[in-house]
Structure 1
């Protein structure tokens, strides 16, 4: 890693518990560098018998807000034309195959396949976390939209503070929730509820998420880290063999059709991300985010609603937004 690059993951081991903090201030957006570090960590954990549990959380009061919009825009622009489903599925399969080999991944980062490798790396990393003989706990201490929610859904145990929101909000930006998001969500809450959330692209309060079974517990903010640390520390002393077999029984028993679902999702994600609609929505959203300093939780929510309400879903020009939105967009040159 270059000396000028801020580490995206801060690691601290105490006994058999490894605490990992997302560290991409000020909002902990998930970017390419974080995907590389997560992939390296997931691979290293397979070989480390000294760790029995991993606790993921964010620094201060920020979890993983969502994917870095700049990286998404680069991915959206990486293909000169929109891809067909067949072409996207082939591209996704090739990238996921290459991502299994660290050397190939590093080499392809310097080629036009870079953006496809980013997506493939995410699938591989989260799949490795599911297969580990260690318990993966996450303490959701801030907004978990898009990739933040995708990551949380891939953890074994999810605990959220009572003031945070969570959701797969990608459809507000004309994208498909990738990284296993659609598949894990559906398996957790059922087809009907998953369709409702995915089509609307709406987020849930902590209480709503718990009621749907998306998270296991809701804890007051001041108690979140002590609670999850105690939980993860306790589970870190369980038999690694038993943990592995429990996770295999739960994940793989339900995952026999998952491989096909993930392949379909990956292809759909590429198709959606390379569409003109996604690029327009991402451009608008990036400008809205850039217009706020500092960027608050409310700014993120209002910006997402603004893009969703602006009417960027059609293949033509955006529809005229309501008066309040029109003035807001005019103020930042949109």
Structure 2
């Protein structure tokens, strides 16, 4: 008899070593949540994501993998993980990650400055709609990132079981350059799916309707959706700055520095535009990107000068010869890995 995915998901988490069991003691049973908007959001999101993954089409560069199932994890930490077990490819999301994402998007959508920058009506209805759209974009990106770890064979695709792949290394930031290559690959593939789904795919009509942009031109609609993607995903990376960098420590991170991740994301997004919406590149020139990201950063950091300075210090290092060499090598190795699929 086939084990239901939610049962296999829970059993796997409970079977881990003591350290991982403390972080992730098992599946989060949504039936234990009080009825309300959070429970409805989680149930609806799970249905949408699992339906989307169930209709996955064969792709030549994808490694063989079992069918997907998305579920929630008991935890006090904001994280997302990917693993394979018992005939399934699992993506697990902790409730704190959903809550952090929700708080981020609420802070953004309640900004009159951001509504104005996006060309949206400054009404409560549109503000709430913007929050919903950005939250969905952000969570879709996180799930797509974990999805890439599976379909690109990051967790040793030749075997049927795999260890946990964490989006955040909360117990410590140490890693190696090979880890960073895989994380950069997952980011690039994830943003490709976000662009495809929101600008050309099934997410476009509902997002445009929610934001009251039905009567806008195609170009303006595209520009709005692209800006929403930048704001939502940009806030996610800006929220988690890395420590001070130097020519040695930058190679020992588990993930690339967040300014690098954002730049790589934009390179992929612009490449997508050139293939699918050539005019859209002109709506997100470097100056527009910097202006929008600066606005988002101010909202996320809430005038915290220390965090702002931390980010500036990282960017300054990445412009040094050592930093530029690191970025060039990471880009080369990422592209080399992608070409090998």
> Normalized against structure 1, the TM-score is what?
0.25
Where is the strand percentage greater, Structure 1 or Structure 2? 1
Where is the helix percentage greater, Structure 1 or Structure 2? 2
Could you say which structure has the greater relative contact order, defined with CA pairs below 8 angstroms and 6 or more residues apart?
1
